[in-house]
Structure 1
Amino acid sequence: MSLSVYCIDLTKHSFSIHGEDHQGKLLIHKTISRSKVLSTFANIPPAIIRMEACGASHYWARELAKLGHTPKIMASKYVAPFRTRAKNDLNDTVAICVVVVRPSTYDRTQAVTH
């Protein structure tokens, strides 16, 4: 069984999340407050979690790894070409998930270890 993929766009006060299962079925597509991120992911079975690199991405990757997830960080330059709509946080999360299914781009991302 393949793991589900959740993509997060990290911002200062609210985080946008887009999740798909191994068949591409939408699991979640919403924005949550910073204070609810860990409780949200604590209630999700272990999954691959993708995020763009930023000042806080390594912190969040370590926290999500403690919950049993597999966080991976990618450079934002790989996300921008796959954004199909206006630039906003939720559209960025969809673009991150599109990048995940592209093997040539997937290999350039960084896995975070504890």
Structure 2
Amino acid sequence: MNIKRIGLDLAKQVFQVHAVDSHEQVVCRRQLKRDKVQDFFRQLAPCLVAMEACGSAHYWARELRQLGHEVR
């Protein structure tokens, strides 16, 4: 997948992922269970990940940065 940017909606159990390429075309739209989020991002080339501000956002930002992603 040629992903440029990902929107990540954080939740307690099921997260929503929406990814676009450099032409702003949707390349991925899916639900991920909490225990599969890191596996999903580990498979991707580093990209920009935008997520909402909430209680677990700092935790997920640290985890995704360790995988090489830019988090906002």
> TM above 0.5, one fold?
yes
Where does the alignment leave 5 or more consecutive residues of structure 1 unmatched? 73-114
1:51-90 aligned within 5 A:
51-72=51-72
Q: Which amino acid aligns with 2:63?
A: E
TM-score by length of 1: 0.60
Equivalent runs, 1:1-114 vs 2, <5 Å: 4-72=4-72
Give the deviation of 1:11 after TM superposition. 0.3
Amino acid aligned to 2:55: G
- Provide the C-alpha distance between the structure 1 equivalents of 2:56 and 2:66, rounded to a whole number of angstroms: 16
Which structure has greater helix proportion? Answer: 1
**Equivalent position amino acid for 1:43 in 2:** Q
What secondary structure sits across from 1:63 in the alignment?
Answer: helix
CA deviation map 1:37-90 (0-9, x unaligned):
000000011000000100000100000000000010xxxxxxxxxxxxxxxxxx
In 2, Cα distance between equivalents of 1:50 and 1:21: 14
Give the number of the structure whose alpha-carbon radius of gyration is greater.
1
2:67 maps to amino acid = L
Matches of 1:48 and 1:8, distance apart in 2: 10
RMSD over aligned Cα, in angstroms? Answer: 0.9
Q: How many residues align?
A: 70
Q: Structure 2: which 5+ runs fail to align?
A: none
